[in-house]
Amino acid sequence: MSSNSFTAPKGTYDLIPPESETVLAVREALAAPLRRAGYGYIEPPVFEDVRLFARGVGESTDIVSKEMYTLTTKGGDELALRPESTASVLRAVLQSNLHRQGSLPVKVWYSGSQYRYERPQAGRYRQFWQVGAEAVGAEDPALDAELITLAADAYRSLGLNDFRVLLNSLGDRTCRPVYRTALQEFLRGLDLDEDTRRRIDINPLRVLDDKREAVQAQLTGAPMLADYLCEDCKAYHEQVRTLLTAAGVEFTDDPKLVRGLDYYTRTTFEFVYDGLGAQSAVGGGGRYDGLSEMIGGPALPSVGWALGVDRTVLALKAEGVELSAPARVDVYAVPMGEQARGVLFEAVTALRREGLSADLSFGGRGVKGAMKAADRSGARYAVVVGDRDLVDGVAQLKDLQSGDQTPVALDALVTTLKEKLK
Ligand code: AMP
């Protein structure tokens, strides 16, 4: 690399063809089941008032306290690139009054980049892509079960089967505080570093999520939330489990699953792909009944998830799913000379308007180079036109699979190709 060239910022990567086609297809596939379930597309801006995340995601989370990309605009506004989209989506729903315009829940999905200043490693980036879904304004175990089922179906539709669904309930306003106090008491008796001790005060549940062995070893015998759930939460959770079983979605109860964000209540879940090493979560979500009120809205119990597109692509590779990129074009036109270029430019335009994909050799390349480009393009047919052909009013149509070449009248070129490629 010379000193005056640039590379993508640390923790980011470029999506380039042909892999970029695969990624687009994965995004589409993850969203398809949502469309079939009545979720509408929503797209909030990629940056928001920094306080939305501080309040909505939680100041005690790593995402907000350490990983946010913040900026002050020339006008003095404090903004942040979104580290996740749930708070933004809920803000957008509230601002546009979607929750007052029709029946609840408001069901929406999004697809977009998220930004976290994390230490980059395989499967962990500073800009990554999520497809997400939120169902706002209803408390119904069938809604939680619907979302988990839709995510599982989305993975399966891509050919990903070796994932696990982890499931837990985090309780509600009644039972969680009681558990929290019991957990804090237990944790205070352990041998923990200062950072972790601080976490006991702010968000003790997250200590359970600590991946370090020295911490995990001390956690055996910790009080478990499952033993503290109130009757309502227990009944709710049982219904989610029953509905998932009825839908044929296998899951594992994971009493230690707490996830990183402050706003979760009751149902919480994660999709894990074990072949990915440390960054094995391919998606996750849960119920967030208190979030709307936290950001100044009315009580709107809600549930949602976000699936990581980057990691889903990695998981598909690990599972050996063939992710073939589609051929770039059907037809590749090779003009020999300026006049032929004009004729073929018109032909290519006409083909595209007829719904076929077509490309042209640009830059006055010689025939040999142009035919190589035709092969590389994945086209089924090359259309070659030289001066002699123009005199005869024909184009040479070359079948790139068989190698056969036949002259076709120029004015019948588009209809002939349409017929052949049907
Ligand atoms: P979260 O918003 O943290 O619940 O994450 C939901 C999903 O987004 C995770 O399961 C990952 O698949 C993906 N994800 C989160 N953080 C990153 C990251 N830094 N790089 C790539 N994917 C990520």
282 C-alpha to ligand 1 centroid (Å):
7
CATH 3.30.930.10 fits 19-175+229-318, yes or no: yes
| Separation of alpha carbons 120 and 135, rounded Å | 31
Where exactly are the structural domains of the chain? Answer: 19-175+229-318, 331-420
Residue 417 in 3-state DSSP?
helix
pLDDT digits (tens, 9 = 90+) for 81-121: 999 999 999 999 999 999 999 889 999 999 999 999 999 99
Which pLDDT value is given to residue 195? 87
pLDDT digits (tens, 9 = 90+) for 323-332: 766 668 999 9
pLDDT digits (tens, 9 = 90+) for 42-73: 999 999 999 999 998 888 788 888 999 999 99
C-beta 352 within 6 A of ligand 1: no
Which pLDDT value is given to residue 62? 83
Q: Quick one: tokens of 247?
A: 């839908």
Closest residue by Cα to residue 58 from 261, 207, 206? 261
Which pLDDT value is given to residue 262? 66
CA 83 → CA 87, 118, 137, 259, 314, distances in Å?
10, 11, 23, 15, 21
Sequence-distant (≥ 6) Cβ neighbours of residue 95 within 8 angstroms: none
DSSP 29: H
Cis peptide before 17 (omega within 30 of 0): no
Which pLDDT value is given to residue 35? 97
pLDDT digits (tens, 9 = 90+) for 122-136: 999 999 999 999 999
If pLDDT is split at 50, 70 and 90, which confidence band does 4 have? confident
DSSP 210: -
pLDDT digits (tens, 9 = 90+) for 276-294: 988 899 999 999 989 999 9
Sequence-distant (≥ 6) Cβ neighbours of residue 305 within 8 angstroms: 132, 133, 147, 148, 151, 269, 283, 284, 285, 286
Mean pLDDT computed over 310-332: 89
pLDDT digits (tens, 9 = 90+) for 267-276: 999 999 998 9
HSE-CB at 334 with a 13 A cutoff on CA atoms is 22
For the four alpha carbons of 75, 80, 85 and 88, in that order, the dihedral sign comes to negative
End-to-end Cα distance, the chain: 47
DSSP labels, 167-203: EEE---TTTHHHHHHHHHHHHHTS---HHHHHHHHH-
Instruction: Decide: 365 and 376 in contact? Cβ < 8 Å.
Output: no
267 C-alpha to ligand 1 centroid (Å):
18
Which pLDDT value is given to residue 344? 97
Which pLDDT value is given to residue 100? 94
Mean pLDDT computed over 220-246: 96
Element holding 136 (H helix, E strand)? strand 127-136
Ligand 1, atom 3, residue with closest C-alpha? 260
Mean pLDDT computed over 249-264: 84
Counts for the chain of helices (H) and strands (E), in that order: 16, 16
C-beta 260 within 6 A of ligand 1: yes
| Separation of alpha carbons 100 and 107, rounded Å | 13
Q: Quick one: tokens of 344?
A: 């073929």
| Separation of alpha carbons 78 and 147, rounded Å | 34
Within a 10 A sphere around the Cβ of 413, how many other Cβ atoms?
A: 23
DSSP labels, 74-126: TT--EEEE-S-SHHHHHHHHHHTTHHHHSSSPEEEEEEEEEE-----BTTB-S
CATH 3.40.50.800 fits 331-420, yes or no: yes
* Index of the ligand 1 atom closest to the CA of residue 270: 10
Ligand 1, atom 13, residue with closest C-alpha? 308
DSSP labels, 299-317: ---EEEEEEEHHHHHHHHH
Mean pLDDT computed over 213-237: 93
Encode burial over 366-402: b for 16+ CB neighbours within 10 A, e otherwise: eeeebbebbeebbbbbbbbbbeebbeeebbbbbebee
308 C-alpha to ligand 1 centroid (Å):
5
Q: Quick one: tokens of 402?
A: 């068989």
5 pLDDT exceeds 70? Answer: yes
Mean pLDDT computed over 241-259: 94
C-beta 116 within 6 A of ligand 1: yes
Sequence-distant (≥ 6) Cβ neighbours of residue 26 within 8 angstroms: 158, 309, 312, 313, 316, 323
C-beta 132 within 6 A of ligand 1: no
